[in-house]
């Protein structure tokens, strides 16, 4: 076999996936393995870094075996990852010092409150593009240094490595301690204008600069790995949401996508100029490519598809995530029920770490279908809140929204999203766009694809959902949702 392929490692919040892509951007083979979610205390979320590594390595080997290919057939590896989740490991042994602290974890909320009380919110936003929140990596690193035995001592001896999941996987694959601009911009300690770790914020959090990875472009050969049977270049690192934006070929300013995964993440490409948000969004780096940095506006919804998992695992209202669509369809609407899934607080545009989930509007006639439908619709409502902020920040009407991620396969959810936004919602043929973006970035780095124009020609539409309700009804529904949000924030 002379044909070459790209291997994308897609390390997510609940599973590790590996996908082999061909030159047409098609999926040749894929493998996925879940791993344990660890909840030591209410509001705390952890992962075992070794479990992440082992499942990622196993799925890479499995995907290659399914495709019937060896390392000589892989032109490059691209890595995309759950962002903000933080790992600390020993530089010499490669062993983690503690469990990975997951992006959903709220353990550093009190530290964030202290930083806000010191009046640092504006300074942090100006330097990093982010709000002060436990979501991001910086305060997680501080927690590890303050609470994990020997962490600060190892740091003082130059033996401690900090990194997000991309750094952890790259280190295990190649021994290189690095990250890319997209992931660095999610740490709350990276200056997105100077393009360097911010010395002022590092000093306030007590994080030694030498523990941090080298920051590199998102596309380019970072190192080589022989762990899959032969030497293969690792040629892309990119945070999952920026990678999905790239996979959707949203290369021009104002092009936008929403990924429906564990959370929901709506990103708009703003080009080479960062746009400061005045409406609760984040300014972030989209990617570093061809010697330039491109930026994005982002709205992060913490609980998206995770609310469907909650219905299944905790309430037993559905047997599988896929069943949510058929159960919700048993009711023509929610019967006045609204579910706000603020299980770990609210993300954009509210940024309320202390909000908690509620269900409102229950009556004696409320049933299983109403609650399941309300949970599904909560994903669409939260995305509408983000879209409204995005349009306000840019003073532009977004003409359509490209969608991807597991929950985008839910036709009822996508139709409700189009209804509530009042614009077409366009789903591509490949909803694994996060992995596709990593493949695209790696492929460009090694000449597998010539340029972004070629990538745009690969993208294919699956279905477009058009709005089916009027403006008056849309406004009324959004107003009721806002009322439910207010109650969740009391």
What is the pLDDT confidence band of residue 309, given thresholds at 50, 70 and 90?
very high
pLDDT per residue as tens digits for the range 119-134: 999 999 999 999 898 9
Residue 97 has φ and ψ, to the nearest 5°, of -85, -25
CA distance 89 to 260: 31
C-beta separation of 458 from 283 below 8 A? no
DSSP string, 73-86: GEEEEEEEE-SS-E
Interior/surface letters 12-29, b for 16+ CB within 10 angstroms, e for the rest: bbbbbbbbbbeeebebbb
pLDDT per residue as tens digits for the range 141-154: 999 999 998 999 99
Q: What is the pLDDT of residue 2?
A: 59
C-beta separation of 134 from 102 below 8 A? no
Range with the lowest mean pLDDT among 105-109, 368-372, 429-433? Answer: 429-433
Residue 396: both structure tokens together: 């532009």
CA distance 401 to 31: 28
pLDDT per residue as tens digits for the range 200-226: 999 999 999 999 999 999 999 999 999
Q: Which residues contact 476 (CB under 8 A, 6 or more apart)?
A: none
What is the pLDDT confidence band of residue 178, given thresholds at 50, 70 and 90?
very high
CA distance 283 to 267: 10
Spatial CA neighbour of 103 closest among 262, 293, 319: 262
DSSP string, 396-463: -----EEEESGGGG-HHHHHHHHHHHTS-EEEES-S-HHHHHHHHHHHHHTTSS--HHHHHTT--EEE
Residue bearing tokens 């694994």: 432
What does pTM read for this prediction? 0.88
Q: Which residues contact 429 (CB under 8 A, 6 or more apart)?
A: 460, 461, 462
Kindly list the structural domains of the chain, giving each domain's residue range(s) and its CATH number in brackets, ordered by start: 5-239 (3.30.420.40)
Q: Report the DSSP pairing between strands 27-34 and 46-47.
A: unpaired
C-alpha 482, offset from chain centre: 25
pLDDT above 90 covers what percent of the chain? Answer: 84
pLDDT per residue as tens digits for the range 461-483: 899 999 999 999 999 999 999 99
What is the pLDDT confidence band of residue 302, given thresholds at 50, 70 and 90?
confident
CA distance 289 to 441: 8
How does the average pLDDT of the chain come out, rounded? 94
Mean pLDDT on 91-100? 95
Spatial CA neighbour of 61 closest among 119, 115, 7: 7
C-beta separation of 190 from 201 below 8 A? no
Q: How far is CA 391 from CA 52, 144, 268, 295, 385, in A?
A: 37, 38, 10, 16, 10
Q: What is the pLDDT of residue 1?
A: 47
pLDDT per residue as tens digits for the range 23-74: 999 999 999 999 999 999 988 999 999 999 999 999 999 999 999 999 999 9
**Cα maximum dimension of the chain:** 65
């Amino acid at each position: 076999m002379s044909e070459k392929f790209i291997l994308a490692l897609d390390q997510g919040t609940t599973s590790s996936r590996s996908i082999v892509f061909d030159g047409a951007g098609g999926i040749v083979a894929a493998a996925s393995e879940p791993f344990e979610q660890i909840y030591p205390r209410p509001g705390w979320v952890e992962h075992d870094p070794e479990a992440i590594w082992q499942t990622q390595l196993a799925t890479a080997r499995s995907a290659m075996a399914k495709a019937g290919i060896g390392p000589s057939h892989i032109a490059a590896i691209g890595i995309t990852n759950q962002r903000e989740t933080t790992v600390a490991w020993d530089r010499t042994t490669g062993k983690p010092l503690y469990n990975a602290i997951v992006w959903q974890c709220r353990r550093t909320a009190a530290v964030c409150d202290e930083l806000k009380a010191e009046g640092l919110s504006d300074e942090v936003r100006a330097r990093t593009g982010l709000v002060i929140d436990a979501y991001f990596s910086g305060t997680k690193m501080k927690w590890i240094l303050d609470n994990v035995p020997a962490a600060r001592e190892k740091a003082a001896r130059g033996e401690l490595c900090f990194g997000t999941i991309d750094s952890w996987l790259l280190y295990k694959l190649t021994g290189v301690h690095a990250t890319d601009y997209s992931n660095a911009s999610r740490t709350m300690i990276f200056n997105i204008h100077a393009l360097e770790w911010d010395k002022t914020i590092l000093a306030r959090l007590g994080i030694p600069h030498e523990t941090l990875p080298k920051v590199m472009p998102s596309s380019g050969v970072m190192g080589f790995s022989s762990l899959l049977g032969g030497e293969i270049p690792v040629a892309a690192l990119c945070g999952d949401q920026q990678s999905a934006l790239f996979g959707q070929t949203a290369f021009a300013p104002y092009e936008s996508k929403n990924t429906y995964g564990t959370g929901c993440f709506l990103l708009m490409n703003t080009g080479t100029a960062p746009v400061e948000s005045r409406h609760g969004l984040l300014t972030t780096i989209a990617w570093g490519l061809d010697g330039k940095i491109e930026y994005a506006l982002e709205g992060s919804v913490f609980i998206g598809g995770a609310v469907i998992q909650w219905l299944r695992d905790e309430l037993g209202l559905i047997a599988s995530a896929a069943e949510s669509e058929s159960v919700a369809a048993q009711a023509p609407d929610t019967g006045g029920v609204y579910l706000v899934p603020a299980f770990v607080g609210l993300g954009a545009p509210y940024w309320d770490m202390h909000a908690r989930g509620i269900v409102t509007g229950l009556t004696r006639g409320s049933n299983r279908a109403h609650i399941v439908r309300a949970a599904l619709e909560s994903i669409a409502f939260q995305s509408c809140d983000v879209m409204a902020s995005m349009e306000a920040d840019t003073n532009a009407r977004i003409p359509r929204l490209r969608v991807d991620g597991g929950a985008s396969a839910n036709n009822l959810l996508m139709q409700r999203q189009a209804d509530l936004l009042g614009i077409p919602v366009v789903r591509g043929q490949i909803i694994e766009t996060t992995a596709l973006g990593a493949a695209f970035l790696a492929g460009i780095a090694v000449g597998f694809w010539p340029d972004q124009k070629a990538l745009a020609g690969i993208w294919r539409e699956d279905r477009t959902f058009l709005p089916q309700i009027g403006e008056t009804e849309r406004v009324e529904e959004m107003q009721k949702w806002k009322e439910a949000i207010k109650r969740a924030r009391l």
